Structure 1
Amino acid sequence: MRTRPVLVYDGDCGFCTTSVTLVQRWIGPRCDVAAGQWADLEALGVTRERAEYEALWVTPDGTVYGGAQAVAKMLASAPGGWPVMGAALQLAPARWIAHGVYRAIARNRHRLPGGTPACALPAGPPATRLRRRSR
């Protein structure tokens, strides 16, 4: 059984990899970090499709948070003053704003510093893509 949370990110995305490297250096969260492409996602209780869509925070008990809430949980685990920001991002209306900002960044990560065309996300959230494929 895991004793530390796991931050899962897109290891094929230059922007994501750069962001995680900066987070590890500046914030130093108390978690394990794993690129979704090489992590044992099944053991974490996460689908590959979800791991490709958003950053994930998996608690030791198996609870999975995605996107902005994953970032909030990661900040809450960090030392110093970061937990205050993490807690604030978990409360409305900051949670709603954080979700919108996260989605905008995720949709445009291929245009951001460190990003490449390979960083572009498939269109729509995982559930939408599944419905399109099943038709």
Structure 2
Amino acid sequence: MIAWVFAGVCLIFYLGGAWFFGSRARGRKVAELLGRRANPTRDEFVAMMTVNARPDVAAFLWDALQLYYRPELTPHPDDDLVGDLLIDPDEPEDWVMDYCHRFAISAQELPKWGEEHRVTPRNLGRYLATLPR
């Protein structure tokens, strides 16, 4: 019985430490991003993205990215989502599937994502804009 209590306490400390140090690392990344780029509003983001993607694609990306940004930070077209924000590398695939589902695009015929491209909102917008609608 004592061993289970000890194991439970150790698990709680481990998870608490992981959360604490993870949130500190994310806080440093957020501060770094705020120091090197503008923090656009939704309308500014859509305007910045229209060079590479339609406004509906830019609005979709803005909405999809809101879960990953803190209130003091907003999406920027040139953010490296995996490198700057520590987003799981598989998440962009989920956004593409959500986009396909929302606009009734067959996921079977998707062009391949170029591995040489960084995962940025701008590159994702460019990719999504090439899909047939």
* TM surpasses 0.5: no
Provide TM-score, normalisation by structure 2.
0.28
Larger helix fraction of residues: 2
Larger strand fraction of residues: 1
